[in-house]
Each structure stands twice: as C-alpha cells, then as structure tokens.
Chain A
C-alpha cells in the first residue's frame, strides 16, 4: 500500500494505492492523523485501492467520526464495485459522501464551501 497526499485548490487529497489489510491499515491511519488536527476538508481517493478488509473499514470509521466531530467535509471518490459491496454489506456506504471521480469530489466540496 502506498499513500500520496496533495493539495488541490486548497483541498487535501489523500490517494491510497494497493491493498488495505490488517498489515497496512495502521499506515493508512497514520497518514490521516495530520488531517485530524488540521480541520481541513478531506478527499480520500480510493480509485487505486485493489483490496480493503474490515481493517480499512475501521480506519474509515475513525476518520468519519473525526470529520463529523470537527464538522469538516469528508468525501470518498473512486470506490470500486468490490469496495462499495463491502461498505454496503456493513452499512457504511450510506453514511459517506461518495463520487465517481476525483474531479467530482473536489467540485462537490467547492460548491458547498
């Protein structure tokens, strides 16, 4: 798993690549910690995630709680059908704001900024 962070038009974009399992999830969680402190809106680009287990769901749960507590926007983009199935089976999907592409996710945040 690899993680890249970048700023696109003053919005934080975190791109995850590869497999999120119990081995790699702690690094995913750690990469998100700076944003917990920053109170910035966050786009998680999941389009290159090839596998995600419940370990990934736990990270999403944590970042979701953080975002709702801080009243910041959290947007997920590029979820594969498989990831959507996992999130839907566990009742996660409906709680997240999701878009197909990164551009759509960024546009959505800008629109309601």
Chain B
C-alpha cells in the first residue's frame, strides 16, 4: 500500500518538495485542510531537524526518503534518513512556552511543534537508518461546540 515515495538530498533545498509530497498524500487521504497543514508543518520540522542534526553538509550522500501509507483510519508519513542516529523524542523540547519572549531559548521549538501537531509520533533506528513515523487519523474530530 506504499504507493510511491520520494528520495531527496538531506538539505534545506528539499523542504518544499517534501511539503508538496505530504500535501498530496493528505489530499489523497481526504484530510481536512487544517489537519493537512499541521501534518505538513510537523514533517517540515522533522526534516529540518534531520538536515540540522544529521549533518547534511558533512555527509554529502545524506538523503531523506519520504513515503506514505493510507489505511481506513490513518495517513502515515514515514521519513527515513541515513544520517547520524537522532531521536527527536529525546530532544529537549521548547522549554517553557509561557516564558516571556525576551527569555526564550532559540532551540527546541521545531520538535515541539512536530510532536504537538500529529496524532502519533514514533521514532525508530534500525539498519543504520532513522525512521520518523508521523500518523494522522483521517476522520476529522467532531467540531468543537461554539
């Protein structure tokens, strides 16, 4: 059921094509627009992290492979890369989001946003590859009462 995938160099230049891939998958899965955007944001943040921490520049053959799977319940996006092992779930998250902006550290926001915006997030390392697995349920949750 893994219809297609895309493999791109692990660089910031690849971010927009990764987002396009995600939005196409989200559209195929019938994800509501806001949820599609949230998934797109989460994937972008994780891919950015792979480039930043995986050492795209030190490792010229570093790549990111993006694939997706649509089941009755879920859309799953898998980002696989051959950079150094890096587990986003072990990263220090965006500390205190209630702190004044003057005192905010600059890091940790991206992973915080990634983990917050998907329904489930899983990290695995196997066969010299990082796998970041992001899942969104296809069914839109019932609208909040106004």
Interface of B is mostly: helix
> Are A23 and B44 CB-contacts (below 8 A) given A51-B19, A82-B34?
no
Interface size class on chain A is 20 to 34
Known: A89-B116, A91-B98. A82 touches B44 (CB 8 A): no
Q: Which residues of A contact B44 (CB under 8 A)?
A: 21, 51, 53
Q: Let me know if A107 is at the binding interface, CB within 8 A.
A: no
- Residues A42-64 near B (CB distance < 8 A): 51, 53-55, 57-58, 61, 64
Q: How far is the CA of A64 from the CA of B106 in the complex (A)?
A: 13
Cβ contacts under 8 Å, A19 to chain B: 16, 19
Residues of chain B contacted by A95 (CB below 8 angstroms): 100-101
Contact with A along B25-46 (1 / 0, CB 8 A): 0000000001001101100110
CB distance from B85 to the nearest CB of A (A): 21
With A58-B106, A90-B94 as given contacts, are A22 and B101 in contact (CB-CB < 8 Å)? no
Q: Which bracket fits the contact residues of B?
A: 20 to 34
Contacts of A91 in B (CB 8 A): 97-99
Q: Which one of A22, A68, A86, A92 has the greatest number of beta carbons of chain B within 10 Å?
A: A22
In this complex, what residue of B is CB-closest to A82? B37
**CB–CB B110/A54 < 8 A:** yes
Are A23 and B13 neighbours in the complex by a CB distance under 8 Å? yes
Query: Which chain B residue has the least Cβ–Cβ distance from A18?
Result: B16
Which among A82, A85, A90 is the interface contact of B109 at CB below 8 angstroms?
A90
Chain A 68-113 residues near chain B, CB threshold 8 A: 68, 81-82, 85-86, 89-92, 95
**Which 4 A-B pairs give the minimum distances between C-beta atoms?**
A91-B97, A23-B12, A54-B110, A54-B109
Can you list 7 pairs linking A and B with CB atoms under 8 Å apart? A21-B44, A51-B41, A54-B110, A65-B102, A89-B97, A89-B116, A90-B113
